[in-house]
Structure 1
Amino acid sequence: MSQQIVRCLLNCKVEINSLNSDGLTPLDITLLDKTQSRNQEIEDMLRSAGALEATSLPIMANCTNLLRTDQRLNEAAQAGNVDALYELIWEDAHLLDQIDQVPFVDTPLHIAASMGHVDFALEIMRLKPSFARKKNQYGFSPLHLALQKQNQYVLSREHLKEKKQTQMVLRLIDVDRNLVRVQGREGVTPLHYVAEKGNVDLLCKFLAACPESILQVTIRKETALHVAAKNDKLEVLEVMLGWLRFVNKDDILNWKDDEGNTLLHISISRKDKTAMDIIKFHLQTKPEFEELESMVRNFGGREGSSLATVEIADDLKRGLIWRQNVLLFFYRSSLSITDENRNALLVVAVLIATATFQAALTPPQDLWGNSSSDIDSAAETKRHRNQH
Structure 2
Amino acid sequence: MEEELHQAALKGSVPALLELLRQHPHILNGTPSLSDTPLHVAAILGHSAFAAELLTRSPELASRLNLQGSSPLHLAAAKGCVEIVKSLVLVNADLGLVWDRDGLTPLHLGVIKGRVGVVAELARVRPEAARVLTQGGESGFHLCVKHHRFEVLKVLVGCVGKDDDFVNWRDGDGNTVLHVAVAKKQLEVINYLLDNTKIEVNAQNSNGFTALDVLSHSTRDLRDLEIKESLQYSGASKFIKKAPSVMFDQDTVQVPTTMQPLMSKRRSLRQLVFKPKQKEVDWLGRKRSSLMVVASLIATVAFQSAINPPGAVWQSDYLEDSNGNPVDKPHHAGQSVMADTEPSLYGLYMISNTLAFLSSLSIILLLVSGLPMKRRRWMWIQMVIMWVAITALTATYFIGLIFMTPQQQKGGYLYHVTQVSVLVWMALMGIVFFGNVVRAARWLLRKYGCMKKKPRDDSLDEDYDIDDL
Q: Please classify the TM superposition score into its range, dividing by the shorter chain length.
A: 0.3 to 0.5
**TM-score normalised by structure 2 residue count:** 0.38
Structure 1 or 2, whichever has the larger Rg, is: 2
Highest RCO, 1 vs 2 (Cα 8 Å, sep ≥ 6): 1
